[in-house]
Amino acid sequence: MRQPPALLAEDAVATALETLDGWSIAEGKLTKTYVFRDFVQAFGFMTAAALCAERANHHPEWSNAYKTVDISLTTHESGGITQKDLDLATEFEQVAGGTAHE
Distance CA 41, CA 61 (A): 19
Q: Would the pTM of this model clear 0.85, i.e. be above it?
A: yes
- Yes or no: say if 69 and 42 are a contact pair by the CB < 8 Å rule: yes
What is d(CA 42, CA 99) in angstroms, rounded to the nearest whole number? 9
pLDDT at residue 98 tops 90 = no
- C-alpha span between 77 and 5 (Å, rounded): 8
CA angle 17, 102, 87 (to 5 degrees): 35
pLDDT of residue 1: 72
pLDDT > 60? residue 102? no
Active site residues: 54, 58-59, 76-77, 85
Closest CA relative to residue 69, chosen from 88, 86, 92: 92
Give per-residue pLDDT as tens, 71-84: 999 999 999 999 99
pLDDT tens track for 45-63: 999 999 999 999 999 999 9
In this prediction, residues 9-17 reach a mean pLDDT of 94
State residue 56's pLDDT score. 95
Q: What is the DSSP string of 1-42?
A: -PPPPPBPPHHHHHHHHTTSTT-EEETTEEEEEEE-SSHHHH
